[in-house]
Amino acid sequence: MAGDAGTADRGDVQSGGAGKPVVMYCTAFCPYCRMADSLLAKKGVTDVQRIRVDREPALRQEMMDRTGRYTVPQIYIGDFHVGGYDDLSQLEREGKLESLLRAGTDEHGAE
């Protein structure tokens, strides 16, 4: 993943410029993970907690238990499970992503 040297590792949740903490289960060479990173960066998210499921099988199992899905990326904004890149980009197309990222919003992006 681009910029892995400066990414937050598991346990170091950072919110960046947008407000709510963003967590992404990912792998090193996942193109959808990179596209999610790019979209989040465009929205002002500078720090994402990346949980690299390719490094530890237990983390992939944790992801599957938590999300019910086995593909990456799996993205959380605060406590809200967004889903994968397609779900994230759909929120952006619908104009809901920015409000979901801002602090003080509920899990559906409403204030």
97-110 tens-digit pLDDT:
999 998 644 555 44
Alpha-carbon distance of 91 to 85, in angstroms, equals 10
Q: Is the pTM for the entire model greater than 0.85?
A: no
- Where are the strands (E) in the chain, listed by range? 22-26, 49-52, 74-77, 80-83
* Tokens coding 39: 């979209």
Q: What is the pLDDT of residues 19-36, one digit of tens each?
A: 789 999 999 999 999 999
The residue among 48, 66, 44, 60 whose CA lies nearest residue 7 is 48
The DSSP call for residue 21 is -
- Compute the distance between CA of residue 64 and CA of residue 67 in angstroms, rounded to an integer: 5
